[in-house]
Structure 1
Amino acid sequence: MSASKAESEAPAPLVDARKPSAQLNLPDPLTETEGFDLVGILSSVDETAYVWDLSTGRFNWESNAAEVLGIGDMSKIATGSAYHALIAPEHLNSRLEAFSRSVGADRVRGVPYRLQYRLRPNGQRSEREIRVEDQGRWWPGADGHAVRARGVVRIIPDEYLEQQRQLVRNDFDELTGQLNRMRLTEALGAVLARAERQYQACSFIMISVNNLAVINETFGIEIGDQVIAEVGRRIRAKLRGGDVIGRYSSNKFGLIMLGCGQGALRVAVDRFIKAVREETIKTAMGQLTATISLGGVVIPDHAKSVQDAVNFALRALDVAKSKRFDCFVPHEPSPSSEGNRLRNKSIAEGVIAALDENRMRLVLQPMVSTKSGAPEIYEALLRMERRDGSLVSAGEFVPVAEQLGLSRLIDRRTLELAVELLKRHRDLTLSLNVSGLTCSDLEWLTALRRMTKDRPDVLSRMIVEITETVALEELDQSANFVDALKELGCRVAIDDFGAGYTSFKNLKRLNVDMVKIDGAFVKNLADDTSDQIFVKTMVELANTFEMETVAEWVGDERAARFLQSVGINYMQGYYYGMPFDSSDYVKAA
């Protein structure tokens, strides 16, 4: 129903709108209280009040309306039509619609409304504009149409609007309008705490849009965003009251399902899968289809912390995504996997603490020249010192650290220790290992330049080792890394050579200076004919490309004699010396 129809057909007002007490329907004792200044109170908070008689269209305003709204001529807001003429066109319909909802209208208490809109008090051509909040109730007549409204208009300061916008930015994801990652995890923490207190099973679900990468690549990111937003809307429409949805990452949603155990969880995820799968998604490029995969965990039964709930749900989601169809995979507790998780967590925490507290140490293992019989190069091996002073070998913590993305931090600390050692000992040549991540880390190269800018001799005495498997995974990237190091003056070695599938072509392209033959081919060298053939072939191959060779894991004299006979350049292993602390290094005689 339009407001103009209401103004012409509604019956007479139920109260005398000419009196302020009638306008606000305040109890007589309150209005009669000595010293009570209602108009003053309203004015102090930039508010005014009105009664609107929709049968005549008449607006009766409180006496401070002109001052609060900045109206020079009260006739401009004396009727509904006149007042509506001052409201921004894009906001007018929302106000008119607020007075047309008659379903379930309460004839006694009235129908509440609360709106925000822009108002130009001096007319649409005026540049002065204010934003107001309009809150009140309207009452229906016998036909259900509004006949009377009573409300308060409040000026919304610009500062308040900015606070509200900031609040929205802080709490909600811009694309989907759902909770952002931070607020989602906060809500999960609150639900976990309540679930443990009340012993109530709840669930946390991670949902991923399966084919988003293909959509982004084919149609562009904007179309992908439209798909993400629509998937989020469909899932939200299937939630129950009290359930929570948030956007965890680019194509992942997190759901908190209250009062939802293992059985109810499977029923719920079926709803979500069908909601996304059964209808196409309308985008700017036409109709597209999407599917989702889900991983979930019951809390607090199977996860008692936010971190565990998120990790378990993500792991289950990874399993679901590995299937060829959209499906749900629940987290299933396993004593062995839980033990591994706790162990990895302990290792990671230990690595971070050791890095923060400077408890990483270098030990040196000699590489002995087959010509001179003396150590000419030392490999720098990393050790982590526990708080009790004991040392942990790199093999016990580096693999876990690499999985958790800590290897760059470790490589950076190794570089710092190695450069410091080379600056202290001008006769020392060091070889140090770097991880696959560091091969693409420009900051590592920048740090190397910065630390050695006044000492070019340090660079000439440094050999950087990259493993064969890492070098082959990203051959172009590895080749660029090798070239950058050689331009600085470093030498480069391929470590664990033979463990991968290096071809002659790849070896030539990498242009390294040294090849370290994987110790697996050396440890039984004296008795294994196939290993002897392999090592001899590798040495001949390296010589063809004018590369030096190192044999690792040399453990006895027979192996050493064979290696000398085939022309190996350096030998490294327990036969030539155990690793020793770098602080014990002394200048060779």
Structure 2
Amino acid sequence: MKLKLKSKLLFLSVVPILFITFLSFMLLSDIIKNRQNLELTKQYILEAEVISKVIHFMQIERGTTTGMIANKKIDDKDTNLQHVKALCDRAVLDAKSTLDVCDFCHNSQALGTLEDIKNRNNIKLLSLSIPDAKAYYTQQIESLLLFVKKIPSLMNDKEHRNYLQAHSYLASAKEALGQIRATLMEVYSNKQLSEGSLLSLIKFLEIYNLDCENFKTIASKDILAIHARHFRGEAVEKTLDMIHSIIRDRNDINFSLVEPSYWFKQSTISINALRDVERELFESVTELINEKLKLTFYKILLITSFLLTTIITLASIMVLIVRKIISSTNSLEQNYDESISLLEQYRAAVDRSFIVSKTDPKGIITYVNSEFCKISGFSKDELIGKSHNFIRHPQMKDNTFKEMWHTIKELKKPWRGEVINLKKDGSYYWVKAIINPILDKNGEIVEYIAIRSDITEIKNALTTDALTGYDNRTKLSEDIKELKDLSLAILNLDNFRQLNDFYGHQFGNLVIISIANKIYNFISKDKKLKFYRLQGDEFVVVGVEYDKEKFISKTKEILLLIKERFSMKNEEILLSCSCGISFEDNEHILSGANMALKTAKKSSIDLLVYDDSLSLNQQYENNMIVTKKISDALKNDNIITYYQPIINNKDENKEPKKYECLVRMRDGDKILSPYFFLDIAKQTKQYFGITKAVVFQAFEMFKDKEAQFSINLSINDILDEEMSKYILMMLDRYEVGNRVIFEILESEYIENFEELLIFITKIKKYKCKIAIDDFGTGYSNFGYLIKLKPDLLKIDGSLIRNIDKDKNARLIVSTIVEFSHKLGMKIVAEFVENKEIFEIVKTLGIDYSQGYYFSEPKESL
């Protein structure tokens, strides 16, 4: 009997070790195979890299050779040509050496091409015509490019295949750019654009654009970042601009503007930039593969060590078992007792580390450990004999428990999941649980054992704002679903983005934390009020079963609290806040508060309570009414222009020399500002009619006057082809271009800089000036100013209006003025409402002022 038991012990000990050994061998085999694939991939990458070097130097040699032929400089011993050939020859030798070592069957074509390139000195390339010389190089390059493009299809390594596929598109794009370089060298050298050259140029530009798009589609974010870092700068912009200008101005090209050497230099810099992208791409993927090869080496070493340890362990166990077979029954019993002792220790360790319970087949609790009692707050006597429904949280859905019972009872498999339970004090806790059915020898369920770990902190982190530590939007959504009779206020800091841009995001975060603490400390003693950070500079206060008037009053107190001046890192901060309040049902309460907040912001009021008058239906009805009024105004010439003077700050007499033309609409006896109709007009086709009316009236007003006048244009005006033609036609007809200033609204985001720059170029021919309106809002990018090179910059009124009270606004304006003057731009301050603001504006060095301090907009001068 004892020997039979020991034989079973021997079997049970050896078989798992043999099984583990077998699995280890399989794993080792798989890792070795993976390492072989990585080494093969590395070899493919090396092939692509050395061939790419040859292609690059062949492209340079092609450009140099065709350039010398075009310039009739037939000199085989030219220093520059000899240097380029030497670089190419060295790259060919490196490539042949690499491909010879690889010895793959697919290398034969590439090796043949490399051999032809090596022997190219036997061909007197400088004696050929430009097309023939270019055709020779192109043929060799295309052959090598075909080899590079073929490599990804040979790879089994899907993970890294895309790197080489992306490179193949990049190499093809670089070759297309090289073809364009050679074509334009011929064009600029001959100072003639033939039909064939134009078609070739268009074809290769299309290939270049297509390959660039394919590259961007398939390349990873890291590779795209490399491309963005290298392929930029003045040379790249000039290269692409020269290509587009040749195609665009094909019938009227001024060849004297571009020297062939200048074109070759700029395009070569661009091609070299693509080469830098190639080089870093190869470095990146090679480094990645080397890391993986290093990792596989350690894995192989680890598994090999494990196998050796297993074999030694197996031998030791066999010797041990043989000894135990010979040993006495007392020894067996002693080992049995020790095993039981160890099992008890394991059970105790699990009990100390996890929340454990057992139930009978009907789900009645038969055992709970102390950790279960500790987290739930119930004693063992209160739990044993009851089902787990006793601690079930109402939030748990029936489907979860149906799935659990189906898994453990019918499938007799472990169930894993997350469960929320109730504590004795009514609070809750989250656990990650695994429930195992325990089966007898006949496969029948004897009991269930559940082992859980506390994940309450992790779950709470999902509903907690990382910056402030208060409840976040997720928690707000959950509470809106669960709670009843709610009042909700959304608070949004005014002009916080300007503070963030000026002081930096780290400083802005400290301000957000300070404001959040202020609000929370103010309301925390009232248990019916809850506080959340919604997003960015927005906060939410929720009242549960709260009197509406009392809630509005409490919210007003919070607004006053936020307005209190405070210091942060030796900076004095003064903020204001807008608020929207809603008492709607739970489904619409958040959207209602949002709508009230937006309306409050638009109307420049601190607090607004949502009601049906703010609903979208009312807005749509109002939009339809205003749309009809705009249509009637256009028909009846009731779109009118008002004029506001702009004063030179150095002129003591304050005589206006400039005016801004401002649109108004006559509605019966009332004159409406654009606030009431312009946004609605932008949603219809009536907007361009308004712009045309203002342009016509302004040109008529100033056609016989000496003053300069400015007209506001939106990006939509500029990009609309019909509107653009109308403006140019009016400039031709009235001949007042030297006195016209076109103000581009800075608050609108500009995507198509190329079209905008084309428009500016056209109007500059009429000696018009460009101003950027409302600077300090919207896009607010100094890089934007450098690109557009405006003549004037108009600082947004929201910065000027409070400049006599707001230190932050004064600092921001000072920075804008200093930067703009360095760029040679004049500055106009809008919304100069009183003498105090005017004196500060002059002190800051601003050139011009505009506002009610001088004059309101008038229908006549």
Q: TM-score per shorter chain, which class?
A: 0.3 to 0.5
Q: TM-score, normalised by structure 1?
A: 0.41
Structure (1/2) with the larger helix percentage: 2
Give the number of the structure with larger relative contact order, counting CA–CA contacts within 8 Å between residues 6 or more apart.
1
Structure whose CA Rg is larger? 2
More strand by share: 1
Q: TM-score, normalised by structure 2?
A: 0.28
